[in-house]
Amino acid sequence: MIIQSTSPLNAETPAVTLRSAFITPQAEFYIRNHGAVPKIEAGGYRLKIGGRVATELELTLDELHTRFPERRVVAVMQCAGNRRADMNQVKSVEGDPWGPGAIGNAEWTGVSLAAVLKAAGVASAAGLHVAFTSHDEFVFRGEKFLYEVSIPLEKALTRDVLLATGMNGEPLTPAHGFPLRVVVPGYAGARSPKWLASISVQDCEEDGPMQTVEYRLFPPGTRKETAATDPNIVINEMPLNSAICVPAAGANVGAGGARIEGYAVGTRNGVGRVEVSCDGGANWHEAEIAARADSRWSWTFWSVILDLPPGDRELVARSFDDAGACQPEDCREVWNFKGYLANAWHRVAVRVG
């Protein structure tokens, strides 16, 4: 793993490792923590559901599994800061300089959040939000806060949003949220809280800093000093993205036919086509789809064999979604001071020969 920080622990999967398994093993799955991992005993664990519901619930893990049908979803978990390092090349940004490995694809098991909310008799009014409170704390401007975020009730009532206890057929490890986390497919990882303590249906977005200050998309002119008053958008859905994983950036590659491999992720409109260039974007070659899941929330693996002439080469990958839209060409088009949603064409420099 590539360690970004040790306390809290933030680590990403090396790109070559990422591309070696379509379902990312837990031990290789990136870790993004804002504070210390809380120690939770499964036996004493209770999940509370309250707020705008007809009946408040308090459920043990056993009750959760016996009262609600199991649901299984293959989905990527992806940090809003994935590929942030690329933005630093335009102008420096805040936050850990993640490469393309702040993402992983897992088979999550648990129960539908929608089923639990319905059992609590959730109000079905439009415009409500579902807030999550976790057991871990983080420090924000010198003060301690619990990790708290929210998602629109409309999204929470879709059947693939999970209260997950399992990952790839194993219980969640402490790093990934044991004993229970939320998985919100298609959304930024920040909206999938680990170590979940309680759920509340409410009129507004959660009002803590993790929801209202972090994980917001600001216009390109915003600086740290102006962020408090500048307009911004909540980061929920993740944009179309792709990355070259093999060869690794800076690798030496033999001249002749070289296999280029990577991932593409398009949870909004699917991944229609992936193209790779070995001349910085002048000419493009369509990649083959190497693996795909029958889940729209999964990533897609692609590969292509290209004849690489000797010398310093820039490999570029870009994907198109099912509606024909492409990733932005340049990071300049999407630059923001927090370095979120870096989804420009992915460029990797290699030496051939």
Ligand X SMILES: Nc1nc2c(c(=O)[nH]1)N[C@H]1C(S)=C(S)[C@@H](COP(=O)(O)O)O[C@H]1N2
Describe the strand order of the beta sheet including 300-308 as a list of residue ranges: 241-246, 256-265, 300-308, 288-291
Single out the segment in contact with Mo ion by CB under 5 A; choices: 188-196, 218-226, 232-240, 241-249.
188-196
CB of 133 to ligand X, least distance (A): 9
Q: Which of 31, 113, 120, 304 binds ligand X (CB under 6 A)?
A: 31
- Asked if 313 touches ligand X (CB under 6 A), the answer is no
Establish if 185 lies at the interface with ligand X (CB under 6 A): no
98 contact partners, CB below 8 Å, separation of at least 6: 4, 12, 79, 81, 82, 83, 84, 85
Q: Tell me if 189 contacts Mo ion by CB under 5 A.
A: yes
Asked if residue 100 binds ligand X (CB under 6 A), the reply is: no
Decide if residue 100 touches Mo ion (CB under 5 A). no
Q: Which residues on adjacent β-strands are paired with residue 26?
A: none
Specify the residue, 164 or 306, whose C-beta has the smaller distance to ligand X.
164
CA distance linking residue 294 with residue 106, whole number of Å: 13
The window from 31-39, 56-64, 271-279, 297-305 that contacts ligand X (CB under 6 A) reads 31-39
Closer CB to ligand X, residue 93 or residue 190? 190
108 binds ligand X, rule: CB under 6 A? no
For position 161 contacting ligand X by CB under 6 A, the verdict is: no
Residue 107 near residue 128 (C-beta atoms within 8 A): no
Question: Of residues 179, 185, 193, 208, which one binds ligand X by CB under 6 A?
Answer: 193
In whole angstroms, what is the distance from residue 87 CA to residue 115 CA? 40
Residue whose C-beta lies closest to ligand X: 189
Rule CB under 5 A: say whether 186 interacts with Mo ion: no
Residue 66 Cα distances to 10, 53, 69, 111, angstroms: 35, 21, 7, 10
* Plot region of 219 (φ>0 → left; ψ -120 to 50 → alpha; else → beta): beta
Residue among 213, 236, 264 nearest 94 (CA): 213
Candidates 13-21, 28-36, 229-237, 269-277; binding stretch for ligand X (CB under 6 A): 28-36
User: For ligand X, how many residues bind (rule: CB under 6 A)?
Assistant: 18
Q: For residues 230 and 239, is the Cβ–Cβ distance under 8 A?
A: no
Does 77 sit near ligand X (CB under 6 A)?
yes
Amino acid identity of residue 165, one-letter, is T
Give the Cα separation of 111 and 161 in Å (integer): 8
With binding defined as CB under 5 A, does residue 11 bind Mo ion?
A: no
Site string for ligand X, 121-160 (x = CB under 6 A): -------------x-x----------x-------------
* Binding of ligand X by 30 (CB under 6 A): yes
Residue whose CB is less far from ligand X, 30 or 320: 30
Is the bond leading into 309 cis (omega within 30 degrees of zero)? no
List the one residue from 19, 32, 71, 194 that touches Mo ion (CB under 5 A): 32
DSSP 2-35: EEEEETTEEEE--HHHHTT-SSPPGGGS-EE-SS
Cβ-based nearer residue to ligand X, 59 or 79: 79
With tokens 């929330």, the residue in question is: 297
Q: Does 206 bind ligand X (CB under 6 A)?
A: no
Residues that bind Mo ion (CB under 5 A): 32, 79, 189-190
Query: By the criterion CB under 6 A, which residues form the site for ligand X?
Result: 29-34, 77, 79, 134, 136, 147, 176, 189-190, 192-195
